[in-house]
Amino acid sequence: MFKLAHISDVHLGPLPELTLRELASKRITGFVNWHRNRARHLFPGTLECLMEDIEKRQPDHLAITGDLVNLASSLEIKAVTEWLAEAGDPHDVSVVPGNHDAYVPGAYERMSRAWYPYMRGDVGPSGWTKEHSCFPYMRVRGPVALIGCSTAVATPPFAASGYFGPHQARTAVNLLRAAGEAGLFRVVMIHHPPIRGATSMHKRMIGIRRFAATISSGGAELVLHGHTHLNTVHWLKGHAAPVPVVGISSASQAPGGSKPVAAYNLFSIAGEPGKWQLTRERFALNADATTTTLAETTHFYG
């Protein structure tokens, strides 16, 4: 049995001191929003509790579906790079970026270079370059193929949308088909929910129909996402059967906010093609913010 843990929307804090030059951009709106809203409910201690609990359950792999930083400053990207090293070896941790990781022009490139070891496919170039995006990538771990897609793009102030383009769609279809022919359980990682109506218009994913066609044509067994800070399950039409699309709350959300408290998914994967068994256990933070409880168990297959 293969165990896959899933967290999202880390929003590693606290915010470092930013220069006036760094704030003279879209970051000023995010800076104000952090201090007026997020700082009251997104706590590093919450994330630490979650990570300790995950470690105790000894998953085979950890999937992180974006928004690791807040304003994508150089200091934040460096802090997340150090945090990732503590979270696990690049072989055992897979990352896709979110809109906050590409918050302003240039951030996507800096983030990609810094976190490349966690976003590198099993086959591909030895380093990240601006001319060659590392997305989509595929990593094979045991019976599982992890396909990482990126919707991260810099957007104007008050927008948090994402984009899934034709190049990623074509490549992802080929990766999914190859993984299916190899008899692997295919997990697609993406930040924005690929479900129409799952978010407001200014936070939506552009290319939802394209992504749905990718899953329908290429085939998949599971899609993981973040962005909404909600614990959700939707379904997409798959190549042979409906595919569960699972979201998770922010990994730093403390009790008392308007969003669900921090949680993580732990998926147990067993079986073989045509007879896959997939169970999700969702562990959520308790009111004391120092322990977690099994909040929900869902049997998707088997």
Q: Mind listing the pLDDT tens digit for each residue in 243-301?
A: 999 999 999 998 888 899 999 999 999 999 989 999 999 999 998 888 899 999 999 98
Burial of 132 (0-12, 13-18, 19+ CB in 10 A): exposed
Lowest mean pLDDT among 18-27, 118-127, 233-242, 259-268: 18-27
Tell me: pLDDT of 171 over 60: yes
Give the pLDDT confidence score for residue 26 in this predicted structure. 57
Structural domain count, the chain: 1
Give percent of the chain above pLDDT 70: 86
Give the pLDDT confidence score for residue 300 in this predicted structure. 96
Query: Could you tell me the two tokens for 69?
Result: 């930083």
Please enumerate in sequence order all residues whose Cβ is within 8 A of that of 159, keeping only pairs 6 or more positions apart, or say none: 202, 203
Q: Mind listing the pLDDT tens digit for each residue in 136-163?
A: 999 999 999 999 999 999 887 777 899 9
The average confidence (pLDDT) of the chain is 89
Section 224-232 average pLDDT: 97
Give the pLDDT confidence score for residue 239 in this predicted structure. 81
Long-range CB contact pairs, 117-122, < 8 A, 24+:
117/90, 118/64, 118/84, 118/90, 118/93, 118/94, 119/94, 119/95, 119/148, 120/90, 121/148
Give the pLDDT confidence score for residue 14 in this predicted structure. 59
Structural element, H or E, at residue 29: helix 27-36
Expressed as residue numbers, the domain containing 37 is 2-301
Section 202-208 average pLDDT: 94
Structural element, H or E, at residue 218: helix 208-218
Section 22-41 average pLDDT: 55
Read off the CATH number of the domain in which 234 is found.
3.60.21.10
pTM of the shown model = 0.91
